[in-house]
Structure 1
Amino acid sequence: MLGTLLFLVFDLETGAWLARVALLIYLLVQWPRQARMAKGILLVTLLLAGIVVWRLPEPVPVLLQALDRLCFFATFVSSLGLLRVSAMRSRLVREAGNTLIRQKPALRYPTLSLGTALFGLIINIGVLNLFGAMVQRSNTLKAAGGHSDIQLAREQRMMLSILRGFALAPLVSPLGVTMAVILANMPSLTWATLAPVALPTAALFFLLGWWLDWRLRPQHLASKVPATRAPSLRPLWHFSLLALAITLSVFAVAGLGELRLPVAVLVACPAAAIIWMACQRRRLGGGTGLPRALTLLGRHSRLIFGASRGEIAVLGGSACLGVLLTPLIDVDALHALLISTHLHGAAMAIAAMLLVVALAQLGLNPIVSVTLLATLLGDGSLADPRLLAVGMMCAWSLSMISSPFTASMLVLSQLIRRSPYQIAWRWNGVFFVLVVPMLAIWMMVLGQGL
């Protein structure tokens, strides 16, 4: 992490080499504990690196660029991972989470969905574990009045609320992996130029989900549902202010340091995590709490950073694949093929969205497909870069709710012990069938205005 920051912020080549060597050692040490999917991605990355060495006359620059991209995402994931550690130890997070879970049925979808999106700003995919575990604990047979059908209906509705809320992150989060990938591959864009287009898109995505949840509610069970009293929203407001402060700190670092937003995340998030941890430790013995926070990080660093091994391998390896694939592909021929389709503007953005989603159903991580499409189309010759970026952000969100192979789907599947195919294709099938044409029509409307 330090090596990557030295390279990106101060342009020190020594920092780049420190990061490269340290990350390779980390991957070797963590290899025995990696899941099958993570190992598969790393092995494919190694195979592709070998092909680059074999096929290209000067492979070293490409290999270093790919390794630097892997270092960046490893640092990115680890930075957000530190926030996750702070959040998991926070009483405020537990209280705010319980507030979301205990809402009345009519308000449960918006509070859970928006709450998941809000928590996801800080703890990323950890929000699925956090809220999923809370749902499992709160959705007992006793809480359902002894009716197992109510318990099952609640489980499905709450899990879909959480999943769709988490899928809002690619469209609303300036701190997310999606934004980092798009801004890294389309340097002409910034969060400020994307937000006016992406946020209304996210609102449509959310409103459709809310309407469908209400429309498909099991009305025949309404009379059986025991009466409950909605809790105070105060913890949720407090957490919202905390999330806003952390997000604003990222923008402040970007502005003051004249850094691109993804780089500012690497600086601001670890600092915010340590300050948050220090505030928690302060209650244990007075003072600033900073020495105790740093001691905690030092003692548990092996577990804290080891817990990110899967995300680093999957996300970093996928980003690395995108870099390694680009020089092996005849970009000019592909570009000519795209031109021959006579697709321009919104039509090209919609086609890119559908392609990313289709490849995700086959197990290809959106990082790879988005990286390649951003490289091919990012010059704006066939579509406005903002429109194309929003199309790929929509594709990322759609992949998260429809592909059985995404990390979010696998996490929920393990939590509730149901097949990822059941969650993705049966539970979410109607929403997917409705949201795809809605987003396509919306992009056509945007194409007229951009």
Structure 2
Amino acid sequence: MTLFQFPPSYSWAGLLPAGVTAFMVAYAYTGLSYFAVAASGLAVVAVAIFSFGVRASRVAFVLIGMALVIWAALTTTDWLAATSTAAQRGAMVMALFTALSVIRSAAMTSPAIVECGRFLARQRPGLRYSALTVGGHLFGLILLYGSISLLGTLATESTAREPDREVRLQRTRRMMIAIQRGFASTLCWSPLGFSMIITVSVVPGASWGAAALPGIVSAVMVLVIGWGLDALYKPRKAALAPASETSQWSEQLRPLLMLLGVVLLGVALLHAVTGVEVIGAVMSLVPVVAVLWIAMQQPPKGQTRLRHISHRSVEFVTRELPSYRGEIVLLFMAGFIGSLGAFLLVPLVQGLGLDLQAVPPWVIVAAMVWVIPMTGQLGMNPILAVSLLVPVLPSPETMGIPPAALVVAITGGWALSGATSPFTASVLLAAALGNVSPQRAGIGWNGVYALVAGSALTLWALTLSIIL
């Protein structure tokens, strides 16, 4: 339920998050504070406008943020600087979401990308889980949770003609689980994901370059565990296998792999050559790649490529971005509340005499794998949980552990939350496509998986804390 109707005349409010992205890119490359201030201001205005068209639960986040500002103003002297920092964190999250939405928009209308997804969904039963979980990972790197929407739609399309209802439900469930787990695994390492970017920004001394390889190992671990559990629990009921795709994998996957290669290698190269942070490289490169990808697509009859790009750009700003207003409000407020809440929480914890430095480092590392999915069951967005909790912890240097170990623990927990929390977009989409409740699609489908994968991730993070 929305509190207010969202007027159509607000369609051009999509210019606000686009402007936030432009200013944050300028700040990333120049370090000039007034770009960050301008981005924060536009982001606050965008949230104020978009709040008139979102559900009451989203408005509640806005009210909580306002309450925290009042609390900070009444109890601290440097509340204005802390509020400005929190707004900048929220603006960064909004800018990243906007940039990634551009390439998601470009990819979702690409016939080659859609055909790639259809190819994966039509594999024979013995290969389908592996194809969809790897495909979910590859698509998730570019489309984020849009990968669940795309692949999930194609998956349900491929099972719709199955006459046996039980077989149809079993296949749909297994296909959705494969896609879910494939997407969740990207959260362990992807430079385009909120998990890695937010975590690196709040863990002192952390960098994506140092955490990427251990994060990839985490992703492989959870993918293999998911595959193993599927093989163990898959139904044994015999059924005639539907016709499967016989095309060459290299031919069908080439468009997706090319897009991934350009984006990931481009981000890494831009980061290495310019020294800009990974988030700055992502925000600046991804929209450019998206525009080029649209330019390569066949324009509608009667339109030139230039006119097609112009039309798509206007549509994105005036229609697509405003349609994401709920996500934009939630993500900005999660970053804002996490940052300002941590500012208020740190002295409160110190005032209570809680000395977290006395807690063994291995306990903290292990706990981060589990705390994030647990808070996800209570409705706490991982951005909020990580931004709120990590600043309270002792720094990795103080604990005597490498920052990458803590990053791996946090992103691993984020991945588990993405597969189990009934409040995350990924689980909500899987539930809608699978025609089950979010609780069923989350902890019901992935409860055992979370326990096994969480145990493996805990051991991996603890091992890294020793060997790195």
Shorter-chain TM band: over 0.9
Which letter does structure 1 place at the counterpart of 2:328? Answer: I
1:396 Cα shift?
Answer: 0.2
1:156 Cα shift?
Answer: 0.9
Selected match of 1:244 from 238, 244, 261: 261
Aligned partners of 2:404 and 2:363: how far apart in 1? 14
Residue 358 of structure 2 corresponds to which residue in structure 1?
Answer: 340
Given that 1:2 and 1:15 are in contact with CA atoms closer than 8 Å, whether structure 2 keeps it comes out as no
Matched, 1:349 2:365: yes
Aligned partners of 1:439 and 1:296: how far apart in 2? 42
- Percent identity, aligned pairs only, is 26
Given that 2:189 and 2:196 are in contact with CA atoms closer than 8 Å, whether structure 1 keeps it comes out as no
Correspondence list, 1:412-427, <5 A: 412-427=430-445
Matched, 1:56 2:76: yes
Aligned partners of 2:73 and 2:394: how far apart in 1? 26
Selected match of 1:2 from 15, 22, 26: 22
- Larger CA deviation: 436-445 vs 176-185: 436-445
Aligned partners of 1:256 and 1:447: how far apart in 2? 30
Aligned partners of 1:423 and 1:216: how far apart in 2? 16
- Larger CA deviation: 264-273 vs 192-201: 192-201
Given that 2:113 and 2:255 are in contact with CA atoms closer than 8 Å, whether structure 1 keeps it comes out as no
Given that 2:427 and 2:442 are in contact with CA atoms closer than 8 Å, whether structure 1 keeps it comes out as yes
Matched, 1:170 2:187: yes
1:112 Cα shift?
Answer: 0.7
Correspondence list, 1:175-214, <5 A: 175-186=192-203, 188-214=205-231
Correspondence list, 1:259-278, <5 A: 259-278=276-295
Correspondence list, 1:30-429, <5 A: 30-140=50-160, 142=161, 144=162, 146-186=163-203, 188-219=205-236, 221-222=237-238, 224-232=239-247, 233=249, 234-281=251-298, 289-331=305-347, 333=350, 336-341=354-359, 343-344=360-361, 346-375=362-391, 376-382=393-399, 383-429=401-447
1:121 Cα shift?
Answer: 1.4
Deviations 1:291-343 (A, max 9, x none): 531332124421121133222222221111111012212357289532333x1
Correspondence list, 1:7-26, <5 A: 7-26=27-46
Aligned partners of 1:82 and 1:7: how far apart in 2? 20
- SS at the partner of 2:398? coil
Aligned partners of 1:400 and 1:93: how far apart in 2? 24
Which letter does structure 2 place at the counterpart of 1:363? Answer: G
Given that 2:90 and 2:332 are in contact with CA atoms closer than 8 Å, whether structure 1 keeps it comes out as yes
Aligned partners of 1:278 and 1:200: how far apart in 2? 35
Given that 1:401 and 1:428 are in contact with CA atoms closer than 8 Å, whether structure 2 keeps it comes out as yes
Moved over 6 A (4+): none
Give the TM-score normalised by the residue count of structure 1.
0.92
Aligned partners of 2:301 and 2:275: how far apart in 1? 38
Aligned partners of 2:79 and 2:114: how far apart in 1? 49
CA distance 1:3–1:238, shift in 2 (3 Å): closer
Residue 449 of structure 1 corresponds to which residue in structure 2?
Answer: 467
1:25 Cα shift?
Answer: 2.7
CA distance 1:225–1:51, shift in 2 (3 Å): farther
* Alignment root-mean-square deviation, CA: 2.1
Aligned partners of 2:317 and 2:181: how far apart in 1? 32
CA distance 1:378–1:108, shift in 2 (3 Å): farther
Aligned partners of 1:52 and 1:379: how far apart in 2? 27
Given that 1:102 and 1:231 are in contact with CA atoms closer than 8 Å, whether structure 2 keeps it comes out as no
1:187 Cα shift?
Answer: 5.1
Aligned partners of 2:388 and 2:77: how far apart in 1? 22
CA distance 1:327–1:132, shift in 2 (3 Å): same
1:26 Cα shift?
Answer: 2.0
Aligned partners of 1:17 and 1:385: how far apart in 2? 29
Aligned partners of 2:244 and 2:405: how far apart in 1? 44
1:348 Cα shift?
Answer: 2.2
CA distance 1:379–1:229, shift in 2 (3 Å): closer
Which letter does structure 1 place at the counterpart of 2:52? Answer: P
- SS at the partner of 1:167? helix
1:282 Cα shift?
Answer: 5.8
Matched, 1:28 2:45: no
CA distance 1:347–1:24, shift in 2 (3 Å): closer
Which letter does structure 2 place at the counterpart of 1:406? Answer: T
Give the TM-score normalised by the residue count of structure 2.
0.89
Given that 1:171 and 1:393 are in contact with CA atoms closer than 8 Å, whether structure 2 keeps it comes out as yes
- SS at the partner of 2:181? helix
Q: Between Structure 1 and Structure 2, how many residues are aligned?
A: 442
Which letter does structure 2 place at the counterpart of 1:394? Answer: G
1:444 Cα shift?
Answer: 3.2
Aligned partners of 1:410 and 1:53: how far apart in 2? 37
- Larger CA deviation: 241-250 vs 22-31: 22-31
Aligned partners of 2:320 and 2:272: how far apart in 1? 30
Given that 2:200 and 2:407 are in contact with CA atoms closer than 8 Å, whether structure 1 keeps it comes out as no
- SS at the partner of 2:355? helix
